[in-house]
Amino acid sequence: MRQLFALVPYMTRRPLLLWGGLACLALTAVFTSLIPKAVGGAVRVVEEAASVRGPGGAIVIEWPRLWSAIGLLLLFSTLAGLFRFGMRKMIIDVSRLAERDFRDGLFRHLLSLSPSFYDRTMTGDVVTRLSSDIDALRTVMGPGLMYLAQTVITVPLILVLMMLIDVPLSLVALAPLVIVPFLVLAFSNELHRRSREVQDQMSTLSNMVQETLAGQRVVKVFNQEAAEEAKFGEINEEYVRRGLRFARLFAGFFPLLHGVFAAGLMITVWVGGVRLMSGAIDFGDLSSVLLWIFELYWPLISLGWVMSLFQRGAASMERIREFQREVSDVADREPAPTPLPARLRGEIEFRQLTFTYPGASTPALTDITLHIPAGRTLGIVGLTGAGKSTLAALVARLYRVPPGTLFIDGVDINALPLAWLRRHIGFVAQETFLFSESIEDNIRFGRPEAPRSEVEIAAELSQLDDQIAGFPRQYETMLGERGINLSGGQRQRAAIARATLLSPPILILDDALSSVDTDTEDRILRGLRGVMRERTTLIIAHRISTVMHADEIIVLDGGRVAERGTHAQLILREGLYAQLHEKQLLEAQLEAVD
Ligand SMILES: Nc1ncnc2c1ncn2[C@@H]1O[C@H](COP(=O)(O)OP(=O)(O)OP(=O)(O)O)[C@@H](O)[C@H]1O
Ligand SMILES: [Mg+2]
């Protein structure tokens, strides 16, 4: 529970709203508790009128007294209502605003974490913590706080008011109610457990739906609709079963509580009657006490509910804290060299770099020594899993680079401010990711202020311009869920346009032309060659045709540089590269025959 105190700073950020809300809360409790008192006053007038008859048995009501009692009742009810409105408004506002700030903070933190965090964390898990776990915290700050404070103020207040009327009656009447919080607590654990079961099953169900729908093409071509349907049916069935288990417990719980309160009322009527006849109290007093018993009903029950809210909140906070404790393993730590050059030249040097992914047992790259002068193009080929993407990721410092092994413009990459470094790198990742925005905004992603003319030049360079012209709204065409879907090759070209728009001194193309036909590839490369003259370019590819014009080509094998040289030199070596080349030539010839 202690971890929930971390929410306090978020709530006190708006002190007026918070204290105003709490003041309203206290006043609501006071006026609500006074209502039975006013009712008692009115009953007293009526009772006296009924028992003390005037001459000839006529009923005499003291109207001014009755009206003032009713007026008081009206006044208390109205004030209680008004303050309740103020309380809800202000406290709920505080909790919503605090929730927003908290979520903003967590999202900012999540953005700062490096890919290695996301490698070992499921996206669904991140989303749940950002949504329903934070929602649980809001429930603590809003309804949780509100009902807790209400109970804390109302219960003692009513006890005092009752005691002021008649101590023995109060003690007897309250006796059965003492067990309510215990009863609620006992049940709340079980209720909590069962509601948790329901929630968990809901997660399972939504995960299953999400995966099946995301992979619906796979499901269809493998003819697995019936199997998926059956699996869903089972999960859904279990959800209902758990829901019913929860409902059964609930169904038993409320009658039990009602029973306790009914016992309280019965004892009050009985003992109250005795006290009435002995003259210790009058009818008005008895009515007040009965009403107070009713008023205690909700605060006492809500106590258990509030406890479970706090428990749930504490559990969620713990889950969120796990993420908050994470620190990026590539954050800027070392002081930047001063002065930083205004612009990067783009010289890249690896010195005996060995790199192992966090959590992996064997290195993905071993003893890489490589010098790429500024403005040169390096081609990288190698079988799948050879370490090509890893090499590229390290140049963008997406993972923690061992100190003294990778230098950009002669400076250890760890000493370069991350944001500054990445501003100078255009990266086309192996898996293209585009946002559900317009094609134009996608290309502009790294430079939101770039004018349309530059976007068009970038699209032209990546050979996407002709196709954009054919889209329903050209550059404003929306992509993804709200628009059209691009083909694999179109997506890659959009990603290339996005990277070249930055005119970066270092350009990295990780298998960026794999889904493009060889003719288009040729045109893109020719276009890029003009651009590449001034930039250091890393081109990763499986096709020899993509890299053959590079200044130098390396062949990675099992994380090591197996061969290096120009295209001509590598062919002469008759190694892995030459084999690949031969195989691909053969394939091309076969295709031509088709
Ligand atoms: N995020 C990661 N965490 C742990 N290991 C990884 C991670 N990414 C890649 N690896 C491992 O590192 C090795 C090199 O992977 P890498 O992605 O660099 O290969 P690649 O040459 O790009 O292959 P491909 O041609 O298939 O793209 C592989 O053995 C892979 O399993
Ligand atoms: Mg790769």
Model pLDDT, residue 54: 67
CA 128–ligand 2 middle distance (angstroms): 30
Q: What is the mean pLDDT of residues 573-590?
A: 82
- Does the pLDDT at position 311 exceed 90? no
- Does the pLDDT at position 390 exceed 90? yes
Q: For 196-286, where are the E strands, in sequence order?
A: none
Phi, psi of 479 (to 5 degrees): -105, 160
Model pLDDT, residue 316: 81
User: Which ligand approaches the C-alpha of residue 114 most closely?
Assistant: 1
- Does the pLDDT at position 532 exceed 70? no
Model pLDDT, residue 482: 57
Q: Closest ligand 1 atom, CA of 359?
A: 4
Sign of the Cα torsion 209, 213, 215, 219 reads positive
- Does the pLDDT at position 9 exceed 80? yes
Model pLDDT, residue 101: 92
Q: Closest ligand 1 atom, CA of 386?
A: 21
- The domain 1-165: what is its CATH number? 1.20.1560.10
CA angle 158, 161, 167 (to 5 degrees): 110
Q: Closest ligand 1 atom, CA of 116?
A: 1
Model pLDDT, residue 78: 95
CB 60 within 8 A of CB 8: no
**Cα dist. 178→31, 181, 267, 297 in Å?**
24, 7, 14, 11
Model pLDDT, residue 468: 83
CA distance 448 to 470: 24
- Does the pLDDT at position 481 exceed 70? no
pLDDT tens column, 39-95: 998 888 888 877 776 677 777 777 888 888 889 999 999 999 999 999 999 999 999
CA 389–ligand 1 middle distance (angstroms): 7
Residue that wins the pLDDT comparison between 476 and 143:
143
Q: What percent of the chain has pLDDT over 70?
A: 97
Please list every protein residue whose CB sits less than 6 Å from any atom of ligand 1: 119, 357, 360, 364, 382, 384-390, 430, 511
CA 541–ligand 2 middle distance (angstroms): 9
Model pLDDT, residue 19: 94
Residue nearest to atom 19 of ligand 1 (CA): 385
- DSSP single-letter state for residue 131: I
Residue whose tokens read 């997506």: 491
The token pair that represents 163 in the structure block: 């005691």
Residue nearest to atom 11 of ligand 1 (CA): 364
Residue nearest to atom 14 of ligand 1 (CA): 387
Strand partners, 350: 370, 406
CA 441–ligand 2 middle distance (angstroms): 26
The token pair that represents 19 in the structure block: 């204290």
Q: Closest ligand 1 atom, CA of 430?
A: 27
Assign 157 a pLDDT band (cuts: 50, 70, 90).
very high
Q: What is the mean pLDDT of residues 145-166?
A: 90
Which residues are in the CB-under-5-Å shell of ion ligand 2?
Answer: 389, 430
- DSSP single-letter state for residue 413: G
Assign 185 a pLDDT band (cuts: 50, 70, 90).
confident
pLDDT, the chain, mean: 85
Residues 6+ apart with CB under 8 A from 516: 463, 489, 492, 493, 524
pLDDT tens column, 10-28: 888 889 999 999 999 999 9
Among 415, 584, 572, 408, smallest CA distance to 506 is for 408
pLDDT tens column, 328-362: 777 777 666 667 777 788 889 999 999 999 888 89
Best mutation site among 388, 542, 546 for ligand 1, i.e. most ligand atoms within 8 A of its Cβ?
388
Residue nearest to atom 5 of ligand 1 (CA): 357
Q: What is the mean pLDDT of residues 574-590?
A: 82
Q: Closest ligand 1 atom, CA of 382?
A: 21
The CATH architecture annotation of domain 348-593 reads 3-Layer(aba) Sandwich (3.40)
- Does the pLDDT at position 394 exceed 60? yes
Model pLDDT, residue 533: 67
CA 496–ligand 2 middle distance (angstroms): 16
User: Which ligand approaches the C-alpha of residue 381 most closely?
Assistant: 1
Residue nearest to atom 29 of ligand 1 (CA): 385
Pairing relation of β-strands 425-428 and 506-510?
A: parallel
Strand partners, 540: 380, 510
Residue nearest to atom 26 of ligand 1 (CA): 384
CA 584–ligand 1 middle distance (angstroms): 23
Assign 33 a pLDDT band (cuts: 50, 70, 90).
very high
Strand order in the sheet with 406-408: 365-372, 348-355, 406-408, 411-412
CA 337–ligand 1 middle distance (angstroms): 32
Residue nearest to atom 22 of ligand 1 (CA): 389
Model pLDDT, residue 217: 81
Among 143-147, 463-467, 540-544, the minimum mean pLDDT is found in 463-467
Per-domain boundaries in the chain: 1-165, 348-593
User: Which ligand approaches the C-alpha of residue 393 most closely?
Assistant: 1
Model pLDDT, residue 23: 94
Assign 96 a pLDDT band (cuts: 50, 70, 90).
very high
CA distance 347 to 371: 8
Residue nearest to atom 12 of ligand 1 (CA): 364
Pairing relation of β-strands 365-372 and 348-355?
A: antiparallel
Residue that wins the pLDDT comparison between 522 and 558:
558
- Secondary structure (DSSP) of 141-191: IIIIHHHHHHHHHHHHHHHHHHHHH-HHHHHHHHGGGGHHHHHHHHHHHHH
CB atoms within 10 A of CB 578: 16
Residues 6+ apart with CB under 8 A from 536: 346, 347, 348, 372, 373, 374, 375, 376, 377, 378, 505, 506, 507
Residue nearest to atom 1 of ligand 1 (CA): 119
CA 329–ligand 1 middle distance (angstroms): 19
Q: What percent of the chain has pLDDT over 90?
A: 18
pLDDT tens column, 119-137: 877 776 787 788 878 888 8
Model pLDDT, residue 263: 87
Best mutation site among 368, 380, 389 for ligand 1, i.e. most ligand atoms within 8 A of its Cβ?
389
